[in-house]
Amino acid sequence: MIRINTENYRDEAIKGINDPVLQKALADLQVRFGRGTAEAYRNLPEGPGLRRKAHEIRMKAVENLDILLERLSEKIRARGGHVFFAEDADAAVKYCLETARKHNVRLAVKGKSMTTEEIGLNNAFAAAGIEIAETDLGEYIIQLAGEHPSHIIAPAIHKTRSEIGLLFSEKLKIPFTTDPETLTRAARKALREKFLSAGMGISGCNIACAETGHITVVSNEGNIRMSTTLPKVHVAFMGMERITARLSDHDILFRLLSRGAAVQKMAGYVSYIGGPRQAGHADGPDEFHLVIIDNGRTKILADEEFREMLCCIRCGACLNVCPVYGKIGGHAYGYAYSGPVGAVVTPLLVGINRAKDLCLGETLCGACKDACPVDIDLPRMLLLLRSKLADGDSKWNAGRENTGEKMLYGIWSEIVQRRWAYDAMLGLSREGSRLFTGKDGMISSLPFFLQGWTESRDMKPPARKSFMRQWKKLEKQRRVK
């Protein structure tokens, strides 16, 4: 049921690169958000150093998850809400389906949630004959088109206005138009009907608060507020790491989240939800369920070197600056999470070998670390994942990916410890390269694994004499003098 397509990274990447519409959309997105976010951090009254503070807040929460989750659950239960700890995706999906069946739900409305994408909720509901309507405009477009989101925050960036116009005229039976306002109105009308007839509302959770016992949902369209207040039953999903100790932490985290996600000072709607409708409340669901999902997170928590990844608040800022994401788009990453966050978290969730291209197919430029509102060192973890691929790691069920390469590096490591051997290696490569050097003195085609380079680039061949050889000769002459 869960869509994991990480094996096709390379093919999907090439598809993305060759799609001019996507290229334009990605470039626009990165200019708008990527640059804007850096500026927004600089303009923080506390300065960009606030990201470090946020990191510490998140890390502290991650290290005390058991206590914090317990506190949250107690408070929610005391208000009559239900809390369910789901060990994996299946358990989470099953719980939600059972709840839907119990209430005879035919239609559920959903606010954007990557966690539900992670566990494959929509497919499971569709198979059970229950409709889930996405209510975030971008997600709604993607759902109508039968596709998957390509960006954590902007799921439909790969679609053009006229594609959306065609889609709406076909599915919503409206006259074709590319006018954003008319299109949004059409979506709004269709969605209002869904909101009013849905038996269940589904949402994610941005950051819960243990102190007050609330989950929070953040949006700019108000759709999540409607999804969580109009239907009789509300089921919220949260990754078990998405919690913090105190309400005061939220001030910092939400300001950073809003800047990272959409270059805003604060998102349009921030709702705190602590259970079903209480006496005296004008609205809210009769029943509230919180599904707290593990699905591989305990394993990440247990590994000190990857624990930092649980600080992630899924803002998408790292996607907006990543040169690789900026070319290949979100679909190449083959799972709910794309871009740098996906490149680290997906291998940890679905298996390092299975997602090897995500670990290897990055430039390690480090832009993601600077963009991250909670200062996560993604490049460090990418390198670490590569080391698991290189040597295997039973803790992560990772096997050595490439024994030939391992052997080559083994030989290389012996060579680099001996200058004479190193010189011999340089000599060999120089001789070898002669065969490939053209009249202009450049190499325009190389064999074997080096072919990748010369597909698009020339290369200067090794020099006749290395710097060190020339230097040594000069030294000798100097001494003679």
What is the Rg, in whole angstroms, of the alpha carbon atoms belonging to the chain? 26
What is the C-alpha separation between 359 and 362, in angstroms, rounded? 7
Strand pairing category for 287-293 and 82-86: parallel
Q: Does 239 bind ligand SF4 (CB under 6 A)?
A: no
Residue with tokens 């190193």: 422
Q: Rounded to an integer, what distance in angstroms lies between the CA atom of residue 437 and that of residue 458?
A: 10
Q: Nearest approach, Cβ of 368 to ligand SF4 (angstroms)?
A: 6
Exactly one of 248, 266, 468, 473 binds other proteins (CB under 8 A); which one? 468
Quick one: the chain helix, strand, coil %, rounded to 5? 55, 10, 35
Burial class (CB in 10 A: 0-12, 13-18, 19+), 349: buried
297 forms part of the interface with ligand SF4 (CB under 6 A): no
Long-range residue pairs from 302-308, CB within 8 A, at least 24 positions apart, any chain? 303/395, 303/396, 305/381, 305/384, 306/344, 306/348, 306/381, 306/384, 307/59, 307/62, 307/63, 308/59, 308/376, 308/377, 308/381
Measured from the CB atom, the residue of 372 and 446 that comes closer to ligand SF4 is 372
In which residue are the tokens 């006229």 written? 162
Stretch binding other proteins (CB under 8 A), from 47-55, 64-72, 237-245, 318-326: 318-326
Does 260 sit near ligand SF4 (CB under 6 A)? yes
> Candidates 54-62, 75-83, 220-228, 442-450 — which segment interacts with other proteins by CB under 8 A?
442-450
Residue 66 burial (CB count, 10 A): 10
CB of 348 to ligand SF4, least distance (A): 12
Nearer to other proteins, 268 or 323 (CB): 323
410 Cβ neighbours under 8 A, 6+ residues apart? none
Show the binding pattern over residues 150-179: x = contacts ligand SF4 (CB under 6 A), - = does not: ------------------------------
Partner in contact with 465, chosen from other proteins, ligand SF4, none, beta carbon below 5 to 8 Å by kind:
other proteins
CA nearest neighbour of 336 among 116, 138, 142: 116
Q: Which of 121, 191, 315, 389 binds ligand SF4 (CB under 6 A)?
A: 315
Is 391 near other proteins (CB under 8 A)? yes
Mask of contacts with other proteins, 11-50, x by CB under 8 A?
A: --xx--x---------------------------------
Rounded-to-integer distance, Cα 113 and Cα 238, Å: 9
Q: What is the dihedral of CA 144, 147, 148, 149, to 10 degrees?
A: -60
Task: Report the candidate in 258, 215, 204, 177 with the shortest Cα–Cα distance to residue 73.
Answer: 215
**What tokens appear for 20 in the block?**
């001019």
Among 92, 372, 398, 446, binds ligand SF4 (CB under 6 A): 372
Q: Which does 349 bind (CB under 5 to 8 A by kind): ligand SF4, other proteins, none?
A: none
Residue placing its CB nearer to ligand SF4 in the complex, 276 or 316: 316
Calculate helix-pair angle for 50-63, 247-262, nearest 10 degrees: 120
- Judged by CB under 8 A, the stretch of 87-95, 188-196, 294-302, 444-452 that binds other proteins is 444-452
Select the span of 48-56, 71-79, 108-116, 446-454 touching other proteins (CB under 8 A).
446-454
Among other proteins, ligand SF4, none, residue 313 binds (CB under 5-8 Å by kind): ligand SF4
Nearer to other proteins by Cβ, of 298 and 444: the residue is 444
Q: Which does 371 bind (CB under 5 to 8 A by kind): ligand SF4, other proteins, none?
A: ligand SF4
Q: Which structure tokens are listed for 400?
A: 């050595």
Assess contact for 297 and 240: CB atoms under 8 A: yes
Stretch of 66-74, 205-213, 254-262, 386-394 lying at the interface with other proteins (CB under 8 A) = 386-394
- Does residue 341 interact with ligand SF4 by CB under 6 A? yes
Nearer to other proteins, 290 or 348 (CB): 348
Task: Please check whether residue 59 is in contact with residue 191, taking contact to mean a CB–CB distance below 8 angstroms.
Answer: no
Site string for other proteins, 359-378 (x = CB under 8 A): -xxxxxxxx-xx--------
**How many residues line the site for ligand SF4 (CB under 6 A)?**
15
Element (H, E) at 237: strand 233-239
186 interacts with ligand SF4 by CB under 6 A: no
Position 431 contacts other proteins (CB under 8 A) = no
Q: Which residues bind other proteins (CB under 8 A)?
A: 10, 13-14, 17, 323-324, 326-328, 360-367, 369-370, 380, 383, 385-391, 405-406, 409-410, 412-417, 419, 422, 426, 429, 440, 442, 444, 449-453, 455-463, 465-468, 470-472
